[in-house]
Amino acid sequence: MSTYGELDRLTSSYSGSEGDGCVEVAFAYGAVHVRDSKAQNGPRCAVSASAWHGFLERVRR
């Protein structure tokens, strides 16, 4: 887990050895925050916890 600003972000174990080849997620403030690990100051997305869980269920199928 790495800390950027005020959010603790998780990076996938599939990310490159430098941690720069994947998305990062943070669970805080009633939402799931997502960003590209290669563009940490770039666009970010925040979705509700229920939307995130729905996304993960669909990916698992």
Tens digits of residue pLDDT in 8-34: 777 777 666 665 568 888 888 788 998
Question: CA nearest 45: which of 29, 30, 25?
Answer: 25
Query: Distance between the two ends of the chain, CA-based, in angstroms?
Result: 26
pLDDT band at 5 (very low <50, low <70, confident <90, very high): low
Mean pLDDT, residues 37-45 taken together: 81
Mean pLDDT, residues 36-40 taken together: 79
| pLDDT score of 50 | 92
By the 10 Å C-beta count (0-12 exposed, 13-18 middle, 19+ buried), 49 is classed as exposed
Q: Report whether pLDDT(36) > 80.
A: yes
Exposed e or buried b for every residue in 22-45, given b needs 16+ CB within 10 A? bebbbeeeeebbbbebeeeeeeee
